[in-house]
Amino acid sequence: MQITRAVPVASVVVALGLALGGCGSTASAPNASSSAPVSAQRAYNDTDVRFTQHMLPHHMQAVRNADIELAMGSAPEVKAVAQKIRDDQQKEIATMQGFLQTFGASPTSAPADQQAVWDKNTSDLRSAATPQQRDVVFLTNMVPHHSAAVPMAQNEVELGKFPAAQDLAKSIKSSQRMQIVEMNNMVRTRTSAYAGSNG
């Protein structure tokens, strides 16, 4: 009878040991799981990364063409717009390069078809017959270029998560809309002038 009583006692000891071991494993579980939400709760999302990667080459193209207009254009008011675009977007390029470092992401190139269009715009700008024609080429190329940036910025405002990127997108959308109006007015003025001189 003593032997039969010893078996339950041993079983209780084993069971108690298992129970204690189980408590030890559950105690460590919160530590393991608590690290996952911390890493998952990023201060940015994929929209922020894509916005930055796509807007960077877009800005770089605008700066390239602004440099050509500043060096080879004619009208002071058109050069003033080119200077404003160059100054603003160079600062924004530096800001976005900082964003990519924060995101741990690399810069990307524009799609091949888009780059081909930009290269032709740059070639047309360089090869304009006169500085006055170059002014018009610059304006007529930059208006659609700016217009393409506005929905990119709006998408970041609506779907992004990184506050600094959203603020930059708001600034881009506002400033480029105003410049679109300004450049369209300059194009109309020059088109009317050329029509009058040929009439």
Least confident segment among 39-43, 51-55, 61-65: 39-43
Q: Are 99 and 164 in contact (CB under 8 A)?
A: yes
Per the listing, tokens 């009058």 go with 196
- Determine how many CB atoms are found less than 10 A away from the CB of residue 101: 10
- Which of 71-80, 142-151, 158-167, 189-198 is predicted with the least confidence, judged by mean pLDDT? 189-198
Token digits of residue 128: 């304009």
65 has pLDDT over 50: yes
Q: DSSP code of 110?
A: P
Average pLDDT of the residues of the chain:
83
Quote the CA–CA distance of 142 and 8 in Å, as a whole number.
88
Give the pLDDT of residue 46.
97
Amino acid letter at 69? E
Give the pLDDT band (50/70/90) at residue 42.
confident
Greater confidence, 2 or 142?
A: 142
pLDDT above 60: residue 195: no
177 compared with 13, residue with greater pLDDT: 177
Element holding 93 (H helix, E strand):
helix 76-103
Instruction: Please report, as a single letter, which amino acid is at residue 5.
Output: R
Collapsing DSSP to helix, strand or coil, 88 comes out as helix
Distance CA 20, CA 158 (A): 51
Question: How far apart, in whole angstroms, are the C-alpha atoms of residue 147 and residue 63?
Answer: 16
Give the N- to C-terminal CA distance of the chain in Å, as an integer. Answer: 125
Confidence of residue 194 (pLDDT cuts 50, 70, 90): low
pLDDT of residue 41: 59
Arithmetic mean of pLDDT, 122-144: 97
